[in-house]
Copies of this chain bind each other. A is one copy, B any other.
Amino acid sequence: MTRKPSKTAVPSAIRAGAKGPVPARSDEVPASNRATRAAERRAAIVEAAMDEFIARGFAATRLDDIAKRAGVAKGTIYLHFKDKESMFEELVRTVIVPVVTRLTTLPPPTGTVRELVETFAGNFLKEVIGTRRGDLVRLIVAEGPRFPSVADFYYREVVSRGIAAMRALIELGIARGEIREKDLARYPQILVAPAMIAVIWQSLFARHAPLDAQEMLRVHLDLIFGERRTT
């Protein structure tokens, strides 16, 4: 059957002579070729989807809103993603991977263990705490139970690696005599716990009581490495 144009009014799509075919997008970039345009669109969708999912959660997010925000028609989303669920899953992967890569790109192993940990904490502070990526972490905590594949992915790619890296640092610290508490190596979670709390705090309670995450992390490191003799 033909897509009957509509019984009344002129078919919107046939505005003869209309020039701007896609006026929605804010930045009018005349993408060179198709492949590039497609990649840009996909990126725009991911971007928009992240904002919407963070703001409303998975179930309450409307694909219409994502499409609108991305400056794309709803159908276009389905050219890039199978459905809402797999869009969410791919989104998490797409956003998380680069962050992990960047954070695990350790600096040259020079200096004390404390300095290594401080560098890591500094990066985490800058890249995650209080940023949209931090909100994404909160989102994963929120939706994880309903998306086993996301939880699995997150555990495998982020948590287990992070724990292993922290454990290695702790063991190095113990070996060098910088850390006294030997059992800490059994629970690297303790090392990162305040950082995670900071992420959640910024999302939920920043408006009630601002938290100086940097200073809190410093105090925590003092607790683990012993008071610091300032720089």
Check if A19 is an interface residue, CB within 8 A of chain B. Answer: no
**Residue on B with the closest CB to A195?**
B193
Q: Are B193 and A197 in contact (CB under 8 A)?
A: yes
CB of B203 within 8 A of CB of A145, answer yes
Known: A138-B141, A180-B227. 16 other contacts (CB 8 A): A57-B57, A58-B59, A141-B141, A151-B204, A155-B209, A156-B208, A181-B219, A181-B223, A181-B227, A187-B194, A187-B216, A187-B220, A189-B198, A190-B216, A196-B196, A197-B197
5 contacts between A and B (CB under 8 A): A56-B146, A141-B142, A152-B208, A181-B227, A187-B220
Residues of A within 8 A of B (CB): 55-60, 138, 141-146, 151-152, 154-156, 159-160, 180-181, 183-184, 186-187, 189-190, 192-194, 196-198, 200-201, 203-205, 208-209, 211, 215-216, 219-220, 222-224, 227
